[in-house]
Structure formats: structure tokens, C-alpha cells
Amino acid sequence: MADKKIRSVAKTFSWRFIIFVYWVIFGYIYTGTFTGAGILGVGSIVPLFFYYFHERIWSRVKWGTD
């Protein structure tokens, strides 16, 4: 059973939101500035598009499913 596209989009954005928060917190702790935290946070958004297409490709692979 493959995920619908909207489910892949929701999973992509929810995962990226978690990673964004992680990098902003880590960036602030590491640099002590919101500028450094913001740069790391924005940098974590770019892979969102790669993850979406990765998820869509895997939804077509039948290996490992019932």
C-alpha cells in the first residue's frame, strides 16, 4: 500500500520542522547568537525537497512490504 502524495508532503514537512528546531537550538547553543542559529536552521530546510522525492520513489518500491 503506497502513501498518497499529500501524506508524503505532510511527513516531509513534519520531519523537516523537527530538524529545523533541532538545528536552531544546536546553532544557538554552539554559536551563542541567533544569527548563527538562523543560518543553520535555514540550511536545514533545503533538504526538504530532496526528502520529498526520496519518499515518493520509495513509495513505488514493493520490496519489504506485505
6-41 burial, b at 16+ Cβ within 10 Å, e below that, comes to: eebeeebeeebeebbeebbeebbeeeeeeebbeebb
pLDDT for position 1: 62
23 touches 40 (CB < 8 A) = yes
pLDDT tens-place string over residues 34-62: 888 888 888 877 787 888 888 889 888 88
Does residue 38 contact residue 27 with C-beta atoms inside 8 Å? yes
Q: How many CA atoms lie within 13 A of 21 on its CB side?
A: 5
Q: pTM of the prediction? A: 0.60
